[in-house]
Structure 1
């Protein structure tokens, strides 16, 4: 089927929820994608931090194939061996004393976190506590409640009325000002994926964690994007030296197979029927996730992940210095990085030019170019990607 026919089919039959680029990718290898015309692209976005072990990963493909031959799904009414093994592995690799619930996405994981907070708030304290504090420029999902938890008013148009009980703080220092007698939890990203890729100050986060513990208010960390070694550790919470009450994760966990997870130290917060998922944690997704964690934990242990982070970061910093009239600042954590561009118009031109030159770069906030390469990206792929970025910047 030719590209024009396929594009028209998409326009005719798929809801228009994306400002879609109609490039037709047909295969991938590592951090390289190929379109139907044979052109290759260095992927510095990895499906928005999803393809953590790259495209066409043979080990992941084999794990999926082996599992699919036997069982894909039976439902959570029965024991699921890879689910139990994955929960154990997440707990052991994180070092957090928690239990895990599996869903299908980051939004669903955050829904689970919100329900944990609400039940905790009802059971702990003289008053029924239900308020959850989130931060300006946050992003927590697109369900009705996670959309309301997302403190961006532009995303709330058309979809109200929303559930009550969400309060927005300007920044970490403003959180204590927003606490009331009915506050049960704080939900935040340690690096805001849609808010400009700026990591919060480590000491400030640690002070907040201590303060909330004293107030018996849950600290819930949204690691949908920062999790699964993107920060250099399994979770960014480990980088920050904190022990959250709840962690949510999703994107990179199964390398592209849909999955989400909510982990909590409140091991007995839910009883049967309090929460559930038809597809969450099935044989296919958890087998894929187990293989991804095997690959990435070995990469971490060998020191290769840290070397990749250092090399990629240095390349970005060199680019920022060489083109300081375009890029104001280099920001980020691990392989979740950004270049702050002088204005939105220049950012659009940079992203368009990068794509034409065969490099996929994403946008974050109003003026940040976002880089989320696969964690297995090679030095050669990094070099080629930055060579192409240099070419388009010279033209800009």
Structure 2
């Protein structure tokens, strides 16, 4: 059987796969089994933050694998403790952190912390409702899926947990708050919702009002976190201090890891939550190396310089191709081109792939760009050269 036949026969078909077979990578470049090179402006959906085949990350993983990969959370894990401290220091937040394996798990844990916050020590539920935004995306597990403000994603899998309500926008959140509301959960830039940033002033006003009313602010930074928006957290960029922040994707550079950071220390006790694999030696050692690499790039000015160059190039396409694009959207290296009504983003993405450029779709009609954070100017130029060729074929 061919590899494609094996996949079709034995893997549950939950993905609309493109059957290209990548076999290796080098920073922003991917290479298929035939030796063709592709410029990757998707980075594994914002996961491969320090690029493909990063030698420093590979060396750290290899070194740790030779010693210990996993012992379970029943025992001390040195890189886990070091990573928790590092996240607190880099973000400037006074937090404790729980480590999981994915963004969905991190958001599940955040929801549990919020529910615990709304319950007294005798187990009586005082507050339980969580407000999220329409067009949000918080994960594929049952509870995270219900927290996702997209009705189309709620088909087939009910009954769902109660207690979630959806605001049309941040201004609408205030109308939905009642005596049972325990938390508001938002993304500062909606990724799956079309690379849509929230207004900074609105977010700051919301954070202040929630603090005044003793309602938790949960910020889902699964996609925006770990320098994707130019700062360690988008929350740092927005100058807010949430009660809970969730992370995943770029934190491990490709090694699965999720994190829940909370300012409410000791809110959970032994037995309230757990994870067999979460925060093991391998994933936390990888995350420490990722943070080292990205902090160096940020401090050198290379990251900020690349953010500006990338943004300028995307804006130029709105001017040059007004029949295709309505506007450029996003923050940092989480960006998109909103496609004009009557045009289909999928056609642009397919055309780009034919030119060996990987870009993604977001929302109903946005071409999404999530390049590696170690992107070089040469890789960027090659990618945009291929993008322009693709646009010329439409």
Normalising by the residue count of structure 2, what TM-score does the alignment of the two structures yield? 0.98
Residue 164 of structure 1: aligned partner: 162
Residue 93 of structure 1: aligned partner: 90
Q: Deviations over 1:355-374 (max 9, x none)?
A: 00010000000010000000
Structure 2 runs not aligned, ≥5 long: none
Instruction: State the aligned residue count.
Output: 393
Residue 20 of structure 1: aligned partner: 17
Residue 48 of structure 2: aligned partner: 51
Structure 1 distance, partners of 2:125, 2:58, is 51
Superposition misfits of 4+ residues, deviation over 6 angstroms: 124-127
Give secondary structure in 2 for the equivalent of 1:187: strand
Structure 1 distance, partners of 2:228, 2:342, is 26
Q: CA deviation at 1:345?
A: 4.6
Q: CA RMSD in A?
A: 1.2
Q: CA deviation at 1:321?
A: 1.1
- Conserved? CA contact 2:31–2:38, under 8 Å: yes
Q: CA deviation at 1:126?
A: 9.5
Residue 80 of structure 2: aligned partner: 83
Residue 184 of structure 1: aligned partner: 182
Q: CA deviation at 1:78?
A: 0.2
Select which of 366, 375, 378 maps to 1:377. 375
Structure 2 distance, partners of 1:145, 1:293, is 30
- Residues 138-287 of structure 1: matches in 2 within 5 Å? 138-287=136-285
Report the CA distance shift for 1:127/1:162 in structure 2 as closer, same or farther (over 3 A).
Answer: closer
- Residues 351-362 of structure 1: matches in 2 within 5 Å? 351-362=349-360
Normalising by the residue count of structure 1, what TM-score does the alignment of the two structures yield? 0.98
- Conserved? CA contact 1:344–1:367, under 8 Å: no
- Residues 37-76 of structure 1: matches in 2 within 5 Å? 37-76=34-73
Residue 112 of structure 1: aligned partner: 109
Report the CA distance shift for 1:239/1:37 in structure 2 as closer, same or farther (over 3 A).
Answer: same
Q: CA deviation at 1:346?
A: 2.6
- Conserved? CA contact 2:324–2:343, under 8 Å: no
- Residues 314-353 of structure 1: matches in 2 within 5 Å? 314-343=312-341, 345-353=343-351
Structure 1 runs not aligned, ≥5 long: none
Q: Deviations over 1:29-64 (max 9, x none)?
A: 010000111111100000000000000000000000
Residue 365 of structure 2: aligned partner: 367
Q: CA deviation at 1:324?
A: 1.3
- Conserved? CA contact 1:127–1:182, under 8 Å: no
Q: Deviations over 1:302-325 (max 9, x none)?
A: 111000100111111112211111
- Conserved? CA contact 1:224–1:248, under 8 Å: yes
Residue 102 of structure 1: aligned partner: 99
Q: CA deviation at 1:145?
A: 0.3
